[in-house]
Structure 1
Amino acid sequence: MTRTASMTVSLPKLTPELSDVASDDPSVEEKVLQERAFVDMPGVHGLYVHVPFCVHKCGYCDFYSLAEPSDLATDRQQVFVETMLKEIHRRAAQVRLEPTTVFVGGGTPSLLRPDLWQLLLDDLAELGVLDRIVEFTVEANPEIVTDDLLALLAARGVNRISLGAQSFSTELLQVLERSHDPVSVANAVTRIRRAGIELVNLDLIFGIPGQTLKMVGDDLDAALALEPDHLSYYSLIYEPNTAMTQHLRAGRIQRVDEQIERDMFAMIIDCLAEAGFEHYEISNWAKAGGPPGANDADESTRTKTVCLHNLQYWTNANWLGVGPSAASHINGYRWKNAPHIGQYLGSLSPPIADYEHLPPARYLGEVLMLRLRLLEGVPCDWLDANLPADDPRWQTIEHLVQIGMLKRTHSHVRLTRAGLFIADEVVGRLL
């Protein structure tokens, strides 16, 4: 399963006519997934599967996950997979489920038993969900990657592994409360390549308490030595109700100085550009390449290892999420399954924690917010077609261009390098 991608991605059309069926009733079956709301609408092209089990809850993580003893987690795994398959079947009967990308995240999906992976993949195949798949990503922790599992995944069409490396410093991994060591990352990449899985992404973090610019440089050197196809490099966020935030409030750790953190980001941008990676989203870099015989100087012929699944989020496409806490977005409707394994396993239909219908004005703002995360920005023709002439955001855009935070080309409005460093503030002015 070979996949290539260009950076040209169609933005979704706004669908104000859906306001006719908007409702505050959080019943997905009754309101969101009703036939009249989705007939003749585009299909769902992204499928996210949330596997909540993990060995250890990392100090910075606010994703819904269950750090349980392996025997307890294993006992729940069978029931969990069976329940999740019921959810997929139920949703497939309600929407046009035609995914081109699948992303299995968590938690630690690589904790699932191989026989349950087999059950999941067999059922998805029988349902026809995998017929159009171009990119199939599975998240994994470096210390929980076995040859048997990788062989199974490769044989069933998984062509991308996203590996949670975070850092190559033993000291910083301890600060993050990670359970692996730097050597296990290299070993995992070797196993993934040996299994024949085409693409490897490494997740990394900067701005870790105690981290220096030299440490960031060392992490970059170590990561590039493994020749990944893609890098996701995130600044550390102190999320509420995490151990890391509790440590910060108690004075046990200190934030990295804001200017030093910006210097770290600048180092990452420059180093990865020099190494041949394209910075295509604020926190994501793809290795550029080309098909045999292609002229590398011709941008139109070059292929890129962008994450196609995440592009669906950034372009506000339709995606379906299954599993506890998984979010979905279909035609301006957005909902999230309850983050509770007990409620999930004990229900005929997953309980919904959050549900909303985005009115056109807010939907437009979210498209701007998400699309500006991409380095290519927002197409000018899309802005002209969707932003009313009297909308005050036109003046805001011009002001941001004048002060050097945005750049307007003949085709796009995008963040400048200076704008990248304060992207949240820049985008916030356009909401």
Structure 2
Amino acid sequence: MDAHPSHFAQIYSVYAHVPFCFHKCHYCDFYSLAEPRGDASRHQPFARALLGELGALSESYRLEPTTVFVGGGTPTLMGADVWSSLLYDLQSLLDRSKLQEFTVEANPETVTEDLASVLVDGGVDRFSLGAQSFQPDLLKALERWHDPASVGRSVGILRKAGVSRLNLDMIFAIPGQTLEDLDRDLEAVLALEPDHVSCYGLTYEPNTPLTTKLRLGRVDRADEELERAMYERVMERLGAAGFEHYEISNWARPGQRCLHNMAYWENRDWLGVGPSAASHVGGRRWKNEAHLGRYLEGCPEPPVVDVEELNAAQRRGEQLMLRLRLIEGAPLPWLDALLPDGDWRWGEIKMLISMGLLERTGTHVRLTRAGLFVGDDVVARLL
């Protein structure tokens, strides 16, 4: 099946996947390639391939995004020279007249003054720093190799460069972590005054080294009661500090929600470029093959896998599942328009309400406080 719809659809969001890392973290299941420090030989060819892919896509889509997000991997492993040429050439491929947010993910150890200046001058206005924890023993449990002090140093560099929006990524329920450890991490986060915090309970993804260690008994998973208490603590501390809890794992200062992720949760159309990047346009989904070599060989039209066209019922389920991840939930008029009479999901919604996992307010159906603790499982039941 051809991945690309025949109509000239407008794309609201663009995601670019940079697969390079200097080390593969043991919990990560994203496609990435560990490479020796100082080996940048593939960075410039990759950047050219990325631009080539976008150029080819511009023949089928209107690339007028409101958001751009560059993730990985470690995008900031690429040097300032590569980024400078990449951002310059992007100007001719993307119509930025509607752009509201341009995010780049960063590893704290890779942020330099030169790189920050190039990125900000090139239009990047939001950074997402992978802090995860501020305690060396917990970082070691995750096989994260950065120095906790580098997070604050990176924040200082980015703020000095003029970055207007900053997210910190955090993880809780790390093997060996206590509530006191979490309190110290939250204090460190708040001291850096980010605009946004993403805080996730550790997930043991299939085929990761951490999951192998768990299976072999080399690490102990946080018990359910402790993980629940940690999530409660995150909600309490960030809420008291003035952050809006707007999605299961995301908190923002007023007006600082991640617009790119909102496009996912609102089920808008987006394009992904780079190896392993996924796309969604008009109910059709596809994914670039997760292989850098074949990506470089195949561009400007890299090999595509997992092409799927959702039928109407599947699209309704996906829209509902994504919308219910938001704390405000699904507006009642939107829900009535989405689900026809007789759709089986109405019965499932009633059952989840009776179980105390969903609630119906005067305006929305949303997760309850109890539902938030098992939010992924609840929303998956409505697919």
Q: CA deviation at 1:241?
A: 1.4
2:376 is the alignment partner of 1:398: no
Counterpart position of 1:292: none
Moved more, 305-314 or 118-127: 118-127
> 1:332-385 CA distances to partner (integer Å, 9 max, x unpaired)?
010000000010011141101211001110110011111100001111111111
- Give the match for residue 280 of structure 1: 246
Matches within 5 A, 1:153-192: 153-192=119-158
Secondary structure, counterpart of 2:84 in structure 1: helix
1:409-420 pair list within 5 angstroms: 409-420=361-372
Instruction: Give the CA deviation at 1:401.
Output: 2.0
Query: How far off is 1:250 after superposition?
Result: 1.4
1:67 is the counterpart of 2:39: no
- CA shift digits 1:384-431 (9 cap, x unpaired): 112111123212222322332112122211101111011123223322
Please, which of 259, 267, 286 is the counterpart of residue 225 of structure 2? 259
Could you say which residue in structure 1 is the equivalent of 2:67?
A: 101
1:52, CA displacement in angstroms? Answer: 0.5
Q: Aligned residue for 2:268?
A: 317
Secondary structure class of the residue paired with 1:83: helix
- Residues of 2 paired with 1:131 and 1:69: CA distance? 39
Residue-pair matches, total: 382
SS of alignment partner, residue 252 of structure 2: strand
Trace 1:12-31 onto structure 2 (pairs within 5 A).
25=1, 27-28=2-3
Counterparts of 2:91 and 2:381, CA distance in 1: 45
Aligned to 2:359: 407
Equivalent runs, 1:26-425 vs 2, <5 Å:
27-28=2-3, 32-34=4-6, 38-39=7-8, 41=9, 43-72=10-39, 74-288=40-254, 304-348=255-299, 349-425=301-377
Deviation at residue 240 of structure 1 after TM alignment: 1.3
Deviation at 1:33, TM superposition (A): 3.2
How many Å separate the matches in 1 of 2:381 and 2:311?
Answer: 19
Amino acid aligned to 2:284: Y
1:425 and 1:56 map into 2 onto residues whose CA distance is 31
Question: In the aligned structure 2, how far is the partner of 1:129 from the partner of 1:146?
Answer: 28
Q: Secondary structure at the match of 1:306?
A: coil
- Of the structure 1 ranges 107-116 and 389-398, higher mean CA displacement relative to structure 2 is found in 389-398
> Does the Cα contact within 8 Å between 1:396 and 1:430 map onto a contact in 2?
yes
TM-score, normalised to structure 2, is 0.97
Q: Which amino acid counterpart does residue 198 of structure 1 have in structure 2?
A: S
Which 4+ runs in 1 deviate beyond 4 A? none
Task: Tell me the amino acid that sits aligned with residue 175 of structure 1.
Answer: A
**In 2, distance between residues paired with 1:128 and 1:244?**
39
Q: Distance in 2 between matches of 1:386 and 1:162?
A: 33
Instruction: Check the 8 A contact 2:63/2:94 in 1, yes or no.
Output: no
Matched residues in 2 for 1:94 and 1:330: separation? 11
Pairwise CA distance, 1:249: 1.2
TM-superposition CA deviations, 1:204-250 (whole Å, max 9, x none): 00010001111111110110010000000011111111111111111
Q: Give the CA deviation at 1:109.
A: 0.5
- Matched AA of 1:130: R
> Could you tell me which amino acid in structure 2 is paired with residue 391 of structure 1?
D
Provide the residue aligned with 1:3 in structure 2: none
SS, match of residue 70 in structure 1: coil
CA distance in 2, matches of 1:400, 1:428: 12
Q: What amino acid sits opposite 1:33 in the alignment?
A: P
Letter of the structure 1 residue corresponding to residue 304 of structure 2: I
Cα displacement (A) at 1:71: 4.2
User: Which structure 1 residue ranges, 5 or more long, are not aligned?
Assistant: 1-24, 289-303
- In 2, the alpha carbon distance for the partners of 1:254 and 1:361 equals 40
Please tell me whether the aligned partners of residues 48 and 320 of structure 1 are also in contact (alpha carbons under 8 angstroms).
Answer: yes
Letter in 1 for 2:106: A
CA distance in 1, matches of 2:94, 2:136: 44
